[in-house]
Amino acid sequence: MRSLIFSNNPASLTSRLGATIDVEQNHVRFLGDLILNLWDCGGQDSFMDSYLSTQRSTIFQHVGVLIYVFEVESRDMSKDLSYYRDCIDSLRKFSPTANVFLLVHKMDLVAGDKGAQLEKKRRELQHESGEVGVTVFGTSIYDESLYKAWSRIVHTIIPNATILSKHLTTFAEACSATEVILFERTTFLVIATSNPVQAESPFPPPRAITSGSSTPTASTALATSNGISSPPSSLSGTVIPGAEGGDAHKLNATRYERTSELVKALKHSCSRVREEFYALEMELPEFTAVLDEMTKNTYVLIIVHDPTIETAALKINIRLARQKFEELQSDSVGS
Amino acid sequence: MASSSNGTKSPPTQVQRTKVLLLGQRRSGKTSIQQVLFNDVPPKQTFYLEPTARIVKHVYDTVIPLEIWDCPGTTTIDTLGAPLAEFSSIIFVIDIQDSYQQPVARMLDFFIAAYQESPDISLEVFVHKAEAFTEDYKLENFRHIQQRVIDELLDISSDYEQMPLNFYLTSVYDHSTHEAFSRVLHKLIDSLPYLEDMLNVFCANSQASKAFLFDVKSRLYVATDASPVDAGTHNLCCDYLKTLNAFGPLYKSSSASPLRLTASSPSSPPKPTFYPSAAVTLAPSTQGTTLTYHLITPQLALLTLMQTAVFEDRRGLLEYNVVFFREGVQEISQVETDARTGTS
């Protein structure tokens, strides 16, 4: 699983990985100065016993996040659970503030109703955890579920995610975008997204600005390219009154994880021909989008539904916003 | 071409389809191939496919209308229910792990019968499930099967020395099935030389190093320019198309997306028909390559590789050339459709 997220390996090659011996420590430079210290702990009984006895204080000290992986169709669930209980106890003693994530893994092997199976496991695990708050995800390396879980995990580690979101929202408005998503560069996990535009209309409120002129936004000049100077009259009839908070777009709920998965797959295809993925722009029947480098270690994806917005305008906006986000990121990581 | 002898059993639609026969022993992977190529079934899922019980005719519309007959492993020439001469192409799938004696004998029965009825028919052998073996062993087996087939053919009669057999090593887990089926498809397209000519002209005028005309949904390439096809590039183009296909529905807005194609306020001049396009830049500097995508017809897309510097400096020229290329392809398709529906 680790090799998939952090080393850009495809799922089909995981069978070649060896067993983890003892603790493999990994430093993953995530978001520039934020370095994740990833302890990949081997799961064989003898290792587990030593973690819980002699190595107990070393392993469980200063833990930010505990990720405990269960096999969905485990041969010996009672043993898994007894180890888990011991781990939770140790964690409570040495790092009481740590976040706990439980991944119910190898979901692809479940035959039949996956949702019901996962729900059953979730209740069981929550019961086992006692008063420790845990978040349970069902995952599989063969689909996007793994990215969903890891994005959520990473989100809890990033200190200033809300501020990033706020700026992304401003940026989205300047681009007349429906949504802006910020990804980490190597893992392509979602760091932050713009908040949904409080749009009573499918398009953001139009401004009387012709393309090419610029508005100072968030101390950075962003070129606003907005072709329509007044809303087409035919639109107002089709607008759905903001019943559920103005989410008229009803975008696919799994889009973030699927995007991570798709881009990683494309990156992998590029690397096979010794090329490096750099940027992507699309004008598809459904939307216009640009995926480009934002800062040294992030990528941004802008989704626009307004057909009059050109990809070139979005690219200029990204270029102009770069410095601001670079500053923002060093603030958020430095603190 | 053999397709002209079709008159007895015309399908409900008036279009005359080019027929492809998919044969092989049971569990050799015929349905897997068909499903992965034309139904977007993930390769891993093909494991769970039910055995085919009777002949299933799949229709698929690309540059030419196809009808693919997926046959159960027990089909014989008599139970096929149609003369072999009706088919433009026969694909026989052999499982690389299987014992070869039975499949090869059965294959030659079919091939000899078909060859006698119409010598122009294209006979293709897919040595399938190549993923089961390591690289060296796989090639050794592949050569072994080829040699065996040719030897047995000559044993039957030396008349068959001229029989045009094509062998492909395929697996649904990589791009080899796409590549092999693309090559099968090329032989069925009468207008191929014209498409290739247009791609050559396009490459020369747009400074593109390589251009493919792909069928968008199946990711088979219909035609390419004269420069040799490098497997890596082909695979990348396939994956790129797959990514774009998957991206589309992901950010589809139920309110705003439908307006994109129709929207244009009454006052503005009528917009030209919208054709999706995309570009992926490889390598951050302008030294790198850019892979472009332009939809040509609802089924076909043009993918080109060019230097990023060229793409950025001459984008206008590229798009201008695409417009002419599109007109040409659309004209060819129109002629093809007219001929097949019998309006001319």
Which CATH number do you get for residue B87? 3.40.50.300
* Percent of chain B topping pLDDT 70: 90
Q: Domain check: are B116 and B217 in the same one?
A: no
User: For position A91, what pLDDT does the model report?
Assistant: 85
Contacts of B243 in chain A (CB under 8 A): 262-263, 265-266
CB contact under 8 A, A248 and B257: no
CB contact under 8 A, A280 and B279: yes
Class of domain A161-211+237-334: alpha beta
- For chain B, the domain total comes to 2
Q: Domain check: are B71 and B159 in the same one?
A: yes
Q: By residue range, what is the domain housing residue B332?
A: 192-341
Instruction: Give the mean pLDDT of chain B.
Output: 85
Delimit the domains of chain A by residue range: 3-142, 161-211+237-334
Contacts of B251 in chain A (CB under 8 A): 178-179, 251-252, 255, 286-287, 289, 303
| Helix (H), strand (E), coil (C) string for A173-194 | HHCCCCEEEEEECCCCCEEEEC
* Percent of chain A topping pLDDT 70: 78
Picking from A13-22, B77-86, B237-246, B334-343, which range would have the lowest pLDDT averaged per residue? A13-22
CB atoms within 10 A of CB A208: 7
The whole-angstrom distance between B64's CA and the closest CA on chain A is 24
- Looking at B186, B214, B243, the residue that finishes a domain is B186
Tokens of A100: 């706990």
Q: What is the pLDDT of residues A130-175, one digit of tens each?
A: 777 788 888 888 778 888 888 888 877 777 778 888 889 999 998 8
Q: Give the chain A residue nearest B263 (alpha carbons).
A: A307
Q: Is the Cβ of B233 closer than 8 Å to some Cβ of chain A?
A: yes
Q: Give the chain B residue nearest A202 (alpha carbons).
A: B256
User: For position B11, what pLDDT does the model report?
Assistant: 44
Mutate to test the interface with B, among A250, A281, A286, A301 (most CBs of B within 10 A): A286
Q: Domain check: are B163 and B58 in the same one?
A: yes
- Which whole number is the average pLDDT over B126-134? 89
Contacts of B281 in chain A (CB under 8 A): 278-280
When mean pLDDT is compared over A54-68, A215-229, A240-254, the highest value belongs to A54-68
Measured distance CA(A103)–CA(A140) in Å, rounded = 9
Picking from A87-101, A228-242, A271-285, which range would have the lowest pLDDT averaged per residue? A228-242
Q: Domain check: are B111 and B254 in the same one?
A: no
Whether A66 has a pLDDT exceeding 90, the answer reads no
Which of B121 and B262 is assigned the larger pLDDT?
B121
- Which whole number is the average pLDDT over A198-227? 36
Measured distance CA(B332)–CA(B263) in Å, rounded = 30
Measured distance CA(B150)–CA(B153) in Å, rounded = 5
- Looking at B186, B205, B230, the residue that finishes a domain is B186
Q: Order of strands, edge to edge, in the sheet holding B221-224?
A: A190-193, A179-184, A298-304, A288-295, A277-283, B277-282, B289-295, B300-307, B208-215, B221-224
Measured distance CA(A91)–CA(A102) in Å, rounded = 14
- Which whole number is the average pLDDT over B4-21? 62
Model confidence at B200, pLDDT cuts 50, 70, 90, reads very high
- Which whole number is the average pLDDT over B231-243? 91
Q: Domain check: are B226 and B285 in the same one?
A: yes
Which CATH number do you get for residue B263? 3.30.450.190
Q: Domain check: are B111 and B259 in the same one?
A: no
CB contact under 8 A, B235 and A289: no
Helix (H/G/I), strand (E/B), else coil: A6? helix
ipTM score of complex: 0.80
Q: Give the chain A residue nearest B248 (alpha carbons).
A: A286
CATH for A3-142 is 3.40.50.300
CA proximity to B124, closest of B166, B182, B162, B85: B166
Q: Domain check: are B136 and B242 in the same one?
A: no
* Percent of chain A topping pLDDT 90: 6
Q: What is the pLDDT of residues B40-72, one digit of tens each?
A: 888 888 888 888 888 899 999 888 899 999 998
- Which whole number is the average pLDDT over A224-242? 35
Measured distance CA(B36)–CA(B42) in Å, rounded = 6
Whether B233 has a pLDDT exceeding 80, the answer reads yes
- Which whole number is the average pLDDT over B78-86? 86
- Looking at B133, B164, B186, the residue that finishes a domain is B186
Q: Domain check: are B154 and B250 in the same one?
A: no
Size of interface A-B (CB pairs under 8 A): 145
Picking from A203-212, B215-224, B297-306, which range would have the lowest pLDDT averaged per residue? A203-212
Measured distance CA(B62)–CA(B66) in Å, rounded = 7
- Closest residue to A262, CB basis, from B247, B259, B283: B247
User: For position A331, what pLDDT does the model report?
Assistant: 67
User: For position B252, what pLDDT does the model report?
Assistant: 83
- Closest residue to A275, CB basis, from B254, B276, B289: B289
Q: Domain check: are B162 and B267 in the same one?
A: no
User: For position B301, what pLDDT does the model report?
Assistant: 93
